[in-house]
Amino acid sequence: MRFAVLASGNGTNLQAIIDAVKKGEIAAELALVVSNSDKAYALKRAESAGIKTLFLSPKEFTNPQSYDRQLSITLKEEKIDLIVLAGYMRLLTPYFVKAFPQKIINVHPSLLPSFKGLQGIKDAFTYGTKVTGATVHFVDEMMDHGPIILQEPVRVSEKDTLETLGTKIHEAEHKILPKAIQLFAEGRLKVKRRTVVILEKEHTNTSH
């Protein structure tokens, strides 16, 4: 299986994926890292690991759909089986999502469906919730909405600051995102309506 990571920033989740591939915890090839920002440290992480990179500038496209059309063409040329969003700060267009049905996964820093959007950690902290966490889910045409694959709860202590809570949530993300990629690679994820069933290894096949 060949997969690509889309990232816009520092790339700590990307690093967790790179490390998991090196350790053999992900039995798949990380074939491409794409960013919409030429300043994304994620690109440097990929280059250091010898992974092919692509910076695709939004300024060169008239609208989000034309951008996503070019991205789609590139990913299909690279024979990508799975697309992983790891801190990718662009909303995917319906066109793109339809081009890769149940082949796009995202990691989000809350226990969805609570605290959707860009400020998931801050919103949970401000709200005063006692438990938050991280979610990996399939991407559909609505933001932070697709079927949930894995979740990892994180307890919020009275001593936590926004920064310490963020650190704990990112550690949870680094734990479950590589695991979800491996489950996909093994053909162990089956979507029934909104529920993702994780199959036992002996029941797997190549369909998702």
Active site residue ranges: 108
Tell me if 131 sits within 8 A of 154, measured CB to CB: yes
Q: List the beta bridge partners of residue 30.
A: 3
Q: At what angle do helices 12-22 and 41-48 cross, to 10 degrees?
A: 20
Instruction: Decide the pairing of beta strands 53-55 and 189-192.
Output: unpaired
Which amino acid does the sequence have at 182? Q
Q: Is 199 exposed, middle or buried (0-12, 13-18, 19+ CB in 10 A)?
A: middle
Q: How many CA atoms are closer than 13 Å to the CA of 70, on its beta-carbon side?
A: 14
Question: Residue 41 has which token pair?
Answer: 């440290």
Q: CA 127 to CA 122: how far, in whole Å?
A: 8
